[in-house]
């Protein structure tokens, strides 16, 4: 289940990172970029690569937050320990652990 959710996050984020890469660098030349007033010491290909991974991480974080917020209360409050092995204090909110 978690592997499937991870792919729900990673694949669309990968695709959007590619789209963002094309949109941004259609308008911006990597050699024109500066960091704290100094030109970047990376090649164009290095800037493209770094920007792609930054875009991928940002869009993946947005997708992960969306996935987290879509969890039902049952999934969030579910006790991970099997019913017959649970400690006494595992009962959150009455019978939420059943």
pLDDT, averaged across the chain: 85
Question: What is the tens place of the pLDDT at every residue in 77-87?
Answer: 777 777 777 77
Range of the domain at 24: 2-69
> Distance between terminal CA atoms of the chain?
20
Q: Is residue 87 part of a domain?
A: no
Q: Is residue 82 part of a domain?
A: no
Q: Is residue 80 part of a domain?
A: no
Q: Is residue 58 part of a domain?
A: yes
Q: Is residue 86 part of a domain?
A: no
Q: Give 42's contacts (C-beta < 8 A, 6+ positions apart).
A: 30, 50
Between 30 and 85, residue with greater pLDDT:
30
Q: Is residue 52 part of a domain?
A: yes
Question: What is the tens place of the pLDDT at every residue in 45-92?
Answer: 999 999 999 999 999 999 999 988 888 888 777 777 777 777 776 665
The domain total for the chain is: 1
Residue 31 pLDDT > 90? no
């Amino acid at each position: 289940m978690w592997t499937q959710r991870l792919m729900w996050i990673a694949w669309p984020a990968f695709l959007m990172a590619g789209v963002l890469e094309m949109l941004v660098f259609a308008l911006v030349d990597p050699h024109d970029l500066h960091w704290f007033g100094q030109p970047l010491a990376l090649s164009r290909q290095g800037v493209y690569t770094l920007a792609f991974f930054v875009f991928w991480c940002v869009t993946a974080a947005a997708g992960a937050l969306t996935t987290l917020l879509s969890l039902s209360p049952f999934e969030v409050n579910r006790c991970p320990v099997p019913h017959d092995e649970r400690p006494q204090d595992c009962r959150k909110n009455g019978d939420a652990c059943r």
